[in-house]
Structure 1
Amino acid sequence: MSADGEADTGFTDEEGIPFVGAGPGDPDLLTVAGRKLVEDADLVVHAGSLVNSELLDEFCADAERVNSVGKDLEELIPLMADAYESGRTVVRLHSGDPAIYGAALEQMDALAEAGVPSYLVPGVTSAFAASATLRTQLTLNEVSNHVVFTRPRGRTLSAEEDHISDFVGFGDTTVCIYLGTHAVSETMDRLLDEGHDPDTPVAVVYHASWPDEDVIEGTIETIGERVEDAGYRASALVIIGEAVNGSAYERSFLYGDWARGGDAPNDEPDTETQEPDNE
C-alpha cells in the first residue's frame, strides 16, 4: 500500500527510470500510473511536440522538462543517468505507447550499460484513440479477426519489408499504418496497382484525441487526394479495412440468446467446445 492508503499499481514503486507512455494526446488518456510518476518527477525528458503541452503543463509543472528532439543517445543517456544517480526522480515520457514504433529499448539498454535500471509503463496508442474517434472496433465479428500495426516503406523500411499490400489482401484484417501520413497517396496507388478493391474503406485520423483532431474518410481510391487536399503530412493514423465503417458485423457469441431477450446464462461457456468471442 502507498502512504495515502491506495494500493500500489506495480508501476509506481519499481526501481529505476520509467519509460512512460503519454498516450495519443489528450491529457486525460495518460494512465493513472503515468500521472503519478510524472507528478512526482524532478526531471521529465519528453518527446517534444508529440506530447501535448497541456499534459506537461498540468502534470509536470514542478519538474524540469527537457525536449528530447534533436538529442542523440550520447547526450540523452548521461543526462538521465547523472540526474538519477544524483538522487533526482527521472521520467522518460514517450508519446502513445513506448512499445509501438518508439525507440525505448535502445535507451533502456544504454542506461543498463551505464548501471541505471529502467522499466516500461504502458500508454494508450493512437490506433486505439482513432478507433474511439471513429466509434468502431478494430476487431469485429465476421468483419475483422486480426489487427496489424505497420508502417510504409521509406528511409527506415525497405520496399521488401513493406507488407501493407499483403496485410490488406488478408481481407479480414484491420491495417493500422503509423508514420505514414506523408505517403498516403503513394501507398494507396500501390494498393490499386496491385489489384486491391478500390472501394475498401480507409480513414485517416489526424491528431487523434487532440483539440484539433480531424477525420478524413474515403476509400483506397479516394483517400489519397483527400489527405493531400487537407494538407496533412504527419501525425495521422491511417486505418484500412471494413471495420472502419463499423457495419456488416455479426453478433458475437459472447451474449448469445441473452442479448436477444432470452435467459441469462447460468454457466461459463465450455471452452473445450466453444470459445467465447470477446468482441
Structure 2
Amino acid sequence: MTGNTDADGEDRIDTDGEPGLPGDLDERIRDHSAGDEQEGIPFVGAGPGDPRLLTVAGKELLEDADLVVHAGSLVNSELLEAYCDDADLVNSVGKDLEELVPLMRDAYEEGRTVVRLHSGDPAIYGAALEQMDALESEGVPTYFVPGVTSAFAASATLRTQLTLNEVANHVAFTRPQGKTLSEEEDHVSEFVEMGDVTTCIYLGTHAVRETMERLLADGHDPETPVAVVYHASWPDEDVIVGTIDDIADRVEAAGYRASALVVIGEAVTGAGYERSYLYGDWANRGSNDADEAESD
C-alpha cells in the first residue's frame, strides 16, 4: 500500500519501531483512560475464551460493530455468535498488514463501526501496536480496550494466586526461545532461578520439552511444580500438573502442541504461603499499639 510517509520517506507500514523518549508519548493519554469511549478503531481483548470473560466495554463495542476483524480460531466462536450477529466477520489469520490495514481503513472512512478483536489481552503478545501505528499513519485513530489474559484464567482454573505471600512475590510473562526469540533473549531459566517468581510461558506449548530440558541442565530443582492449562476457560479446557522433570512427558501424552499456558513455580500448588497482614487480629497490631499509647 502507499500511505503517509515519515520524514525519511519510508512508508510507515514498512518501518520498524524505533526507541522513543518520554516526551514522545501520545497526547491522547492525557485525554482518555482505559474504558473511555473514544474515536477510532478499538483493539479489543476478547479474553481467554469463555464469552462471559469478555469485558463490558468489549461486549458493547462488538454489539455495535458493523465489521469485526478477529483472530480466527484463537477467539471462541461462541463469543462471535453471542455478540457479533449484526457484524461482518473477517478472519485475520493469514492476512498481512498490507491487506488488513486498507480493509479496516476503508471501512472506517465509509462510516462503518470497526472493531479489531484480539485474543486475550492485545497488550500481551498481540502484535497490536504495529497495526495501530499503520492505521494511525493512514489517519485512522485507534485505541486499546483491555481483555483478560490467559494467565489470569489459568490462575482461576488452578484455584490459586499467581502471587502468594512468602511464596511468589513476582510474576513473569514470557515466551521461550525459537524463531521470534533468540537464545540470549530467553530468560525463563533466570526467572525460575529467582525462586519467588511465578513464570507464565506464552506461545510455548510446542517447546515444553526443550524448555524443561534447559531448566534441568541449568540445575533447577526437578520437583519444581509446573501446570499446563490448555484452552483456559474454553469448553475443552484441560489441566496437566507435574514437575519440571515430568511435565513434558505428560503434555506429549495429551497431544498438545499449541494453545496452552505453562505456569512454573511453587504458587501452582497454592500451598506454603504465609497469611498476609490484611486480615485477622495481627492486621491491626499497629493501630492497637497506637491506641494503647494514647490511653497511657
TM-score, normalised via structure 2 length: 0.84
Report how far residue 13 of structure 1 moved. Answer: 2.2
Match of 1:277 in 2: none
Per-residue CA deviations over 1:191-233 (Å, capped at 9, x if unaligned) read 0011000000000000000000000000000100000000000
Report the AA paired with residue 39 of structure 1. Answer: E
Please state which structure has a larger fraction of its residues in helix: 2
Give how far 1:265 is off. Answer: 8.5
Match of 1:47 in 2: 71
CA contact (8 A) 2:34 2:146 kept: no
Alignment correspondent of 2:50? 26
SS of 2:273 mapped into structure 1: coil
Distance across 1 between alignment mates of 2:214 and 2:74: 29
The equivalent of 2:24 in structure 1 is none
Rg (Cα) greater in structure: 2
**1:266–1:169 distance in 2 versus 1, CA, 3 Å:** closer
1:274 is matched with: none
Q: Decide whether the 8 Å contact of 1:142 with 1:249 is kept in 2.
A: yes
Alignment of 1:58-207 (within 5 A): 58-207=82-231
Deviations 1:103-124 (A, max 9, x none): 1100000001000000000000
Could you report, residue by residue, the CA deviation over 1:133-179 in whole angstroms, capped at 9, with x for unpaired residues?
00000000000000000000000000010010000000000000000
Distance in 2 separating the partners of 1:226 and 1:30? 31
Gaps of at least 5 residues in structure 1 are 1-8, 271-279
Q: CA deviation at 1:256?
A: 3.8
Give the letter for the 1:249 counterpart: Y
Give secondary structure in 1 for the equivalent of 2:261: strand
Q: Number of residues paired by the alignment?
A: 257
Q: Is the 8 A contact 1:12 1:36 kept in 2?
A: no
Matched, 1:224 2:210: no
Shift of 1:266: 10
Shift of the alpha carbon at 1:255?
Answer: 1.4
| 1:57 paired to 2:87 | no
Q: Partner letter of residue 246 of structure 1?
A: G
- Percent identity over the alignment? 78
* Shift >6 Å, 4+ stretches: 264-267
Inter-partner Cα distance in structure 1 for 2:36 and 2:195: 41
Distance across 2 between alignment mates of 1:180 and 1:209: 18
Q: Residue 34 of structure 2 contacts residue 145 of structure 2 at CA under 8 Å; is this kept in 1? A: no
Matched, 1:239 2:255: no
Structure 2 portions without partners, runs of 5+: 1-32, 291-296
Tell me the distance in 2 between the aligned counterparts of 1:10 and 1:28.
20
Q: TM-score, normalised by structure 1?
A: 0.89
For 1:152 and 1:191, locate their aligned partners in 2 and report how far apart those are by CA, in whole Å: 11
